[in-house]
Amino acid sequence: MDIDKMFKVPKLPTGGTKRKLPENPTPEMLKKMKMDSNTLPKPSETVLHPSRKATVEEVVDEDEDEDFAPGGDADYFAEEDDEGRFFGGGLTSEQKEILNIFDQAGTQGTEDEAVDLSITRIRQILLSFERAVNRNQDHRSKYPDDPSKFIDSEADLDSAIKALLPLSQVPSLAFPELVRSGAVTLLVGLLTHENVDIMIDAVEVIYELTDDDLEVEQEEEGSERGQEALTMFVEKLVDSSVLELLADNLNRLNEDEESDRQGVFHLLGIFENFVGLNPALSPKIVTGTGVLKWLLSRIQAKIPDENRGYAAELLSILLQDSHENKGKFTEVGGVDVLLKTLSQYRRRDPIDADETEFMDNLFDSLCSSLSEPATKQAFLEGEGPDLMVLLMKEKLESRSRSIKVLDYAMSGSAGTPVCEAFVEVLGLKTLFTAFMGKSSKHQRSGLDSSTPQDVAHSLGIISSLFTNLPSDTTSRIRLLAKFVEGDYAKIDKLLEIRDAATKRLQLTEIEIQKSKQDASNSDDEESHEDSLYLQRLDGGLFTLQTVDYILAWLMMEDDGGHVLRMLNRKDQSTKDILRTLQSYEEHLGNEIDSTQTTDDSMSQKDILKGLISALSSNTTKQS
C-alpha cells in the first residue's frame, strides 16, 4: 500500500541535528507495532465486490438514513456539535486506521523511553554493546580488505552505540555500571575507529551523557547520587585519554559533510561540558591537547557558520579563569589572531545576531587574556592600541567593545607601556569624545552615542592614565590639558557622574538598612560585611571611587580651584573626596591580604595613601 498516493500529502522535513529515520514505515516496522486486530476493518466489511448480488438483509431502507455516511467516514456521526451538526473528516475507516498506525509509531518510542531503566536492563544494554564492539573488531581484523564481511557487524555496532543514549535518564544507576563493566574504555576506544560514522556516534553519546541538562532524579538524595556518578564517569573518561582523542578528531573531520559538521559541534560541546562540570579540567584541555590551536585556526574562517561561533565561545570559556591557559594563548600567537580577526569590524557591523555574539566572544577572550603582563606586551607589539582607537573612531558596534579592551590593557603597572602608546596614537581625543557622549555627524539626531558601560570603561582608562603616565612627561601634560580645555567641561562631566553615583549609593544604603532589619543575625559577620561592600560597589560606590580618584589627581596637579568651587555649590568639600578614598584604601588592603599575590595592588595602595596625605594637608592649610 502506497501511503503517499492514498493521502496525496507532500513529505514534511524532519529537521533536527541528529541522524534521520526513514520518512515512511517499512512493512517490517508496521508488523512490530502493537495493534488490536479486532479494530482493523475486513475488506469484505468495507468494500462490496461489483459481481456480488445484494441480498434482502443488505438492502438499505431509504427511510432509515442513520447508517449513511458520505465517503464511508467512520466518524461522520461521532463528530457533532451541540446543535447536532456533524462535520466528518471525510476519511474511510481504513484510512483512519492507517493514521492510527502512524500515531502509534510516533508515540511508541516515547513510551519506551519513558519506561524506567532497571539495573538489569542497563546491564543487558552494556553487554550488547560490548558484544557488538568485539564482533566488529573481530570481523575487521579477519577481513580488513573486504568491507562486505564486516558491514553487518558495523550496522549492529551503530545500533548498540545509539542504545546507550537512554542511559542519561538514570545517571545514578547507569554511570557506575558504565565504569564497572569497562564500557567507558570501549566507548573511548571507538574514537579511533576506522569508520568515521562510528566515531561520530561515539562522540554523540559522550556529548549526551555529559550534557549540563542531564536528567537527574528529582529527590535531593538521588540528585546527589546522580551528580557523584556523573563526576566519576567524567573522571574515568579523562583517565582513558578522552581529551587527547577528541582533540585529534577535530582535525579528522571534514566540515563540508553535514554529519562531520555535526560531529565537530558535539566535540566542542563535550569540551564545554567538561569545563562546566569540572573547571579544573580547563588547563588540561588547553595545555595537554591541540584544541587551542584548532580554535584559533577555526575562528579565522571567512564563512560564518555555527561551528565558527561555537569555537569563539569555547575559546572565551577556556580563557576566563585559567592563568595557564592565558599564558599558552599568548605563547601560540593568540593575540595577533584575535586582532587580525577583529579588524574586519573596523568598517562594518556584524550582519546578524549570531555574528554579533561571535564578535563579543572574541572581544571577551582578548579582555580575559589581558590580565597577564605577557599578553599586554603582545597586545602592544601587535599594534592593539592603534586598532582599538580606529574602532572607537568609527562609532560602530565594535566601539564599546574596544573601549572595554583598552580599559583591561591599560590597567595595572604592566599597562604603563600601553598607556604611553595610547597617547602617542592620539587616543585622548577619541577617548574624551566617547566620554563626553558627542554624537557623530552621521548619526541620527537625538541618538546618544555613549552608554553607561562606555562611561564606566572610559573612567577606568582615565584612572589608569593618571596612575601609569610618569610625572612631568609630555603624555601626562597632554592628559591634564584635556581637563582644562573647553572651560573645564570634562571636570563638569566628572562631577555630574559623581552626583549620579552618589544618588545611586544612597538608594543602595536604604536597601541595605532595610535588609538588615528584615534579616536575622548572621553567624559569619565578616562574610556578611564583605557581601554588603560588594552590594555597595554595584550600587554606585565603584563609580564614585573611580571619579574621586581622578578628581584627587586633578586637585593635586592643578590648583583644584574649579573642582572646589563646584563642590561648594553643592555643600560639599574635599572632605567628601577624602572619605571616599579612605574607604577605597581600606578595602583595597583587605583584598590584598585575601586574594592578591602581585605587587600591582600594593603600588595602587601606596598611591592612595599619598593622595590622601596630600589632600589632607591641603585641607588643613585651607581651613
**pLDDT tens string 68-95:** 455 555 554 444 444 444 445 556 666 6
Residue type, 325: N
Rounded Cα distance between 469 and 478, Å, is 11
Task: In whole angstroms, give the CA distance from residue 533 to residue 469.
Answer: 30
Q: Within the chain, which residues score under 50 in pLDDT? A: 1-68, 76-87, 107-115, 217-221, 439-448, 590-601
Third-level CATH fold of 121-278? Leucine-rich Repeat Variant (1.25.10)
SS3 457: helix
- Interatomic CA distance for residues 501 and 543, integer angstroms: 6
Name the residue type at position 514: K
CA 448 vs CA 395, 440, 550: distances in Å: 11, 10, 24
Question: Exposed (0-12), middle (13-18) or buried (19+): which is 176, by Cβ within 10 Å?
Answer: middle
The residue type of 245 is L
pLDDT given for residue 183 in this prediction? 95
* Per-residue pLDDT, 97: 65
CA atoms of 406 and 422, how far apart (whole Å): 9
Could you report how far apart the first and last alpha carbons of the chain are, in Å?
103
Distance CA 234, CA 279 (A): 12
pLDDT of residue 5: 45
Q: How many residues does the chain have?
A: 623
Alpha-carbon distance of 528 to 594, in angstroms, equals 16
Q: Which long-range contacts (CB under 8 A, 24 or more apart) does 133-142 make?
A: 133/157, 133/160, 133/186, 133/189, 133/190, 140/194
Provide the whole-model pTM.
0.77
Phi, psi of 81 (to 5 degrees): -95, -170
Task: Decide: helix, strand or coil at residue 106.
Answer: helix
CA distance 215 to 496: 52
Burial class (CB in 10 A: 0-12, 13-18, 19+), 196: middle
- Cell 564563512 locates to 303
